Amino acid sequence: MAEIHAFKVGYCTHPACMAVKGAGLRPRPFPSRAYLLMTQSGPYLWDTGYSEHFSEEARGIYTPYRWVTPVHYQHDADCLETQLARFGVWPRDIRAILISHFHADHVSGLRDYPGVPMMASRFALDAIRKLQGLAALRRAFIPALLPKDFEERIQAFESTPARDLPAALHPFKQGWPIDAGGELWAVALPGHAEGHMGAFVQTESGWQLLAADAAWAPEAYRELRGPAELSFLIQHSRKEYYKTLAKLHALDGNGIKIHLSHEM
């Protein structure tokens, strides 16, 4: 059975109502989380959170990114490699970095894992390839955060055929197996960003879902309270977002634990 370890890798601040409608304009921190998934096949990483590369690359045309989401990142305390080392895991040990989507707060650390394979959805890859300048900024994507040999190391989750998920994961029906032991499955969670993905992980205490940015706070899926309407200026599809949120609501009702990338 796999183990899930969560890390806080920096945070940004935003009005609380961006996460849940009616939560007010008071700024609250949104931690950026990365997850270490220890499987029988070895360690996997789910996203990377922020890194020092974010402040280096959020400049020029990408500077507004820093104004909209002021980022707090402490060199020592927030560094993901330092946090992984406490588990005896070094970058070279990682089997693959699983990318939920390409918003900068999820992929800022990719360059710190030289040679490590990466996986993302085909839709997400199609959406970011050749994306530059203002068009990239509007999708919260900073191309320079990708390693130079990104194209050689990236693989689509969908490169293996989709298969039926266990009945316990209803209403999710199909996913893409990631590891050889069947403990890790990629699953489409559309709405937040093009090709936005989640992952089911089989642990000792049952299946759990890494849901990335399908919601920004647990109240959103528990009470079906979406984020501020303004947020849909940067999210991909409001309609798909609410369909995914309803599925998370059902999954939560079935007792499946859900991890969000920005929950407190």
CB of 207 to Zn ion, least distance (A): 23
> Biggest alpha carbon distance in the chain?
49
Stretch that binds Zn ion, among 66-74, 199-207, 208-216, 245-253 (CB under 5 A): 208-216
258: how many CB neighbours lie within 10 A of its CB?
19
Side chain identity, residue 138: R
Stretch that binds Zn ion, among 65-73, 181-189, 206-214, 224-232 (CB under 5 A): 206-214
Q: Name 202's Cβ contacts closer than 8 Å, sequence gap at least 6.
A: 1, 2, 182, 183, 184
CB of 211 to Zn ion, least distance (A): 11
CB of 193 to Zn ion, least distance (A): 6
How far is the C-alpha of 191 from the C-alpha of 67, rounded, in Å?
A: 24
Question: In the complex with Zn ion, which residue's Cβ is closer, 158 or 213?
Answer: 213
Stretch that binds Zn ion, among 66-74, 110-118, 177-185, 209-217 (CB under 5 A): 209-217
- Pairing mode, strands 174-177 and 163-164: antiparallel
| 3-state SS string for 222-261 | HCCCCCCHHHHHCCCCHHHHHHHHHHHHHHHHCCCEEEEC
Question: In the complex with Zn ion, which residue's Cβ is closer, 194 or 213?
Answer: 213
Is there binding between residue 194 and Zn ion (CB under 5 A)? no
Phi-psi region of 6 (alpha: psi -120 to 50; beta: other; left: phi over 0): beta
- Nearest residue to the partner Zn ion, using Cβ: 103
Among 33, 53, 103, 139, binds Zn ion (CB under 5 A): 103
Is there binding between residue 213 and Zn ion (CB under 5 A)? yes
How far is the C-alpha of 27 from the C-alpha of 13, rounded, in Å?
A: 6
Question: In the complex with Zn ion, which residue's Cβ is closer, 103 or 259?
Answer: 103
Q: Is 2 helix (H, G, I), strand (E, B) or coil?
A: strand
In the region spanning residues 151 to 170, those forming contacts with Zn ion, defined by CB under 5 A, are none
Stretch that binds Zn ion, among 57-65, 117-125, 126-134, 205-213 (CB under 5 A): 205-213
Stretch that binds Zn ion, among 1-9, 99-107, 120-128, 197-205 (CB under 5 A): 99-107
Side chain identity, residue 226: G
Question: In the complex with Zn ion, which residue's Cβ is closer, 78 or 213?
Answer: 213
What does the binding site for Zn ion look like in residue numbers (CB under 5 A)?
A: 103, 213
